[in-house]
Chains A and B, each alone.
Chain A
Amino acid sequence: MMPHTSILCFLACYVVAFGLELTRFRGKSAVSRLISLGFTGAGLLAHTWYLLNRSHETSLPPLLSSTHDWMQVAAWLLALIYLVLAVLQNEMALGVFVLPVVLVLVASTYGLNHAPNNEIYAMQARRSWGLLHAALLVFGVVAAAGGLLSAVMYLLQHRRLKTRHAQPGGFQMPSLPRLAQANRWAFLLSFVLLTLGYASGLMLAIAAPDDEASVSLMEPVVLISGGVWTLMAGVVGWLLVHRGPVGRQVAWLTIVGLGCLLLTLFGLQLATGNIHSGTRSAAHAAQPEVRR
C-alpha cells in the first residue's frame, strides 16, 4: 500500500515558496531563491505522490475520477511548468504570479467532493475518449492561466516603463516583447486545446449509447462554456486580424477573455461540485469499491 500524503503537506510547501518569492521585493537573495525552489520542488513531489495515491485508490486516472482530482491536476501542471521556468529563468519573479494561482487551485479543492465520477466506471468502452476530453480541457485551462498571467505581467511591466519607475532589485519581469509573445501563444494554444476539448465532449455526448451515462447538451455547463468559447473565438479572430504592435489591448482582451473562461469553468466546478452534475446515470455496473 502506498503511504498517504495530505493536501496540507504540499499546500504548506507552496505557501512557504510563495512567501520566499515575496522577499524579492526587498532585494536579490540567491539563498532565498534557492530555498524557494527547494520548497516548490518538495511540494511538487508531494503533490505527485498525492495524485498517484488518488489514482491508486479510485483505480482511475486523476483526470477522470473527480472534479477535485481534475483541479489538483491543473494545479500540479501549473506548479510543474513554474518550476521548470523558475530554474531556467532564475532572475524572473514568476513565482509571485504563478504560485498564488496554484495555491488558489489547491485550496479550492478542499471544498470539493472527493468521490469519483460514477459515470466513468460505466463508460468502460469510451473511457479513453473521456480521458482525452478531460486532458484537452485541463491543458487548455493551464494554457489559459498562463496567458492570463502573462497579460497581467505585461500590463504591470508596461505601466512601470511608462511611469518611469525603477524595478526593485529582485523583482524582475520579462521584457514586453517576450510577455506579448507568451500571451499571444498561450491564448491561441488554450483556444485550440479548449476547442478540441469541447468538441470531444460533444462527440462523447452525442455518441453515447442509450444504456450508458451521458451528458445533456442542454446542461448549463455546456451552454455557458459554449458562450465563453464564442467570446474566445471572437478574441482569436481579432488577434489574427490585428498583427500589429497592440500589446496593451491584446493584454486587456486576453484578461477579459481568459478571465471569463477561467471564472466560468472554476465557478461552475465549485458551484456544482462536479462539472457534469446535471446528469447521473443509474448504470454503476462496473464501479469498484472506493477507499476513502
Chain B
Amino acid sequence: MNLQVVYCNHQSAEISVREKLGFAKDRLPAAYAALRSAFPRAEWVVLSTCNRVEVYTAQEDPTQLPSHHELAQFFSDFHRVPVAEFFDDLLERTGPDVVRHLFQVAASLDSMVLGEPQIVAQVKEAYSLAQQHSGSGPLTNALFQRALGVAKRVRTETGLAEGRVSIASVAVGDFGRKIFDRFDDKKILVIGAGEMAIEAVRYLKDEGARQIWVCNRTQERAESLAREWGGEVRPFDRLDDWLSQADVIVSTTGADPCLVPVNRFKQARAKAKYKPVFVLDLGVPRDFEPAIRDLDDNVFLYCIDDLEAICEQNRRSRQREVDKALTIVDQEVDKLMGELYHRATGPIVKRLRDQWREVVDQEKKRLFQRLPHLEKDRSEIERSIEQMVNKLLHPPLEALRDEAREGTPHGLLDALRRLFRLQE
C-alpha cells in the first residue's frame, strides 16, 4: 500500500502557474481517463480549486506508483505546458505525509484564509467526482472519507472557523446584519469603484440586496459596475440626494480632502429624518469625516481601520486554535495509518495462522489415530499445542506489528512469505 500526492498551491506557486495546471470540471473526465490509461492499477483523486491543484494517488504495490517526474509529464501533456515552466513549483509527499496534508487541507489549515469553510465542500466534490469517474478505490475512499470526518471534528472541537477575517465580510456580517434585519428593501449607494467596494457589494448581494446605486465621477466606470451588479447609475453631482436616501453607503474614493465632511452629512441626515444608515468608509484617506459617527444614534460609520482591527483580532484568535487543530489531525493520521497498515498486513497474518492451524490439525489427527489411549487427555493436549503455536507465532507477528507502525513493512512481509512459503 502506498500513497502519494503531487501538488502546487498558493504557497508554492504563483496564480499564473496554478491557472495553467488547474482542471476545469468539464475536463476532469478526460483527466481521469488519461490517468487511468497511463497507470491502470492506481487510484486517483484530483482536487482542483483556485488555490490548489493536487493529484492524489494510492496503490497497494509501491513499485507501480507513478514517479514525480511522470506526473509532471502528465500535467505537461494534459495542459500542453512545458514541464520546465512549473516543475519547481510542483511538490510531492508520500506515505503518512499525504494523509497529514489532506487532513490539513480539508480542515482548512492549509487555506489562504485560515478556517474558511468552502474547502470542505471542494474536497467533498473532488472525491465525489473521482467516484463518478471511477478514479477512487478502497484506499482513497478510506482517505477522503476520513478527511471529511477530520474537517468536521476540527470545526466542532476548535474555534478555527470562528470570526470573519475579510474586511467586507466583517463589515456586512458582524455589523450590517445587526443594524438591518434584511437588505432586500434597502437602498445601497456605492461611491467609487475600489476592489473592496466590489467585495462588499458581493456580500450585500448575498444577503439579498437588490437596489444598488453606483455613483462615480467617471460615468463609464459607473455604468460598467452597474451593469455587472444589476444596479443603477446615479449622477455624482447629486450626491447629497443619494446620501439622504440611502440606507447603506459603501465608499472607496479615497478623495483628499474628504468627500463627505460633517456639515454635508448633517444636512443629508435631516432630510433622511434620522433613519438608520450604515456607512462603510473603505477609502484611504477616509471619505467620511470621523465625527459623522457622533451626529446621531442611527449613524453607524465604520472605516477600514475599525474593520481591519477586528479582522486581525479574529485572525489571532484563529491562530490560537491552530495547535488544537493540528493535534486532532495528528491523532487522526495515526489512527488511519494504523488501520491502513493493519489492512495491508492482515492478509499475510491470516494466511500464516491458517497454514499453521492446518499443520496442527493434521498432526493432531495423526497423533490420536496412532495413540488412541491419549483420547482421554485430548483437551489438555490440544490446549498445549495451541499455546505452543501462539508462543511460536508471537515474535514474528509482534515484529510485523512494530514495523507496521512506521509504514507498510514490505520487506518483512516478503520475508514472511518466503520463509513460510505463503501462497498469494
Contact = CB atoms under 8 A, between A and B. Distances in A.
B180 A245 contact: no
Interface size class of A (residues with CB under 8 A): 20 to 34
B273 interface: yes
Interface stretch (B127-135, B292-300, B369-377): B292-300
A164 interface: yes
Nearest to A176: B179
A167 B163 CA distance: 9
A241 to B, nearest CB: 15
Interface in A132-166: 157-158, 160-162, 164-166
Given A167-B174, A245-B276, A175 B298 contact: no
Interface residues of B, number: 25
B162 A161 contact: no
Interface in A168-201: 169, 173, 175-178
A177 B170 CA distance: 19
Contact of B159 (A162, A169, A245): A169
Contacts of A248: 297
A199 to B, nearest CB: 36
B162 A175 contact: no
A31 B155 CA distance: 13
A176 B162 contact: no
Contact of A27 (B162, B174, B180): B162
Contacts, number: 55
B23 to A, nearest CB: 35
Interface string B170-189: 10001101111100000000
B313 interface: yes
B136 interface: no
B162 A28 contact: yes
A162 B300 contact: yes
B264 to A, nearest CB: 21
26 contacts: A28-B159, A28-B162, A30-B156, A31-B156, A161-B175, A161-B178, A161-B179, A161-B300, A162-B293, A162-B300, A164-B175, A166-B170, A166-B174, A166-B310, A166-B314, A167-B178, A169-B159, A176-B179, A177-B180, A177-B181, A178-B181, A244-B273, A244-B274, A245-B275, A245-B298, A248-B297
Given A244-B273, A245-B276, 15 more contacts: A27-B162, A157-B178, A161-B179, A162-B300, A164-B175, A165-B310, A166-B170, A166-B174, A166-B314, A167-B174, A173-B178, A175-B179, A176-B180, A177-B180, A245-B275
5 closest Cβ pairs, A-B complex: A169-B162, A164-B306, A166-B310, A177-B181, A27-B159
Interface of A: 27-28, 30-31, 157-158, 160-162, 164-167, 169, 173, 175-178, 244-245, 247-248
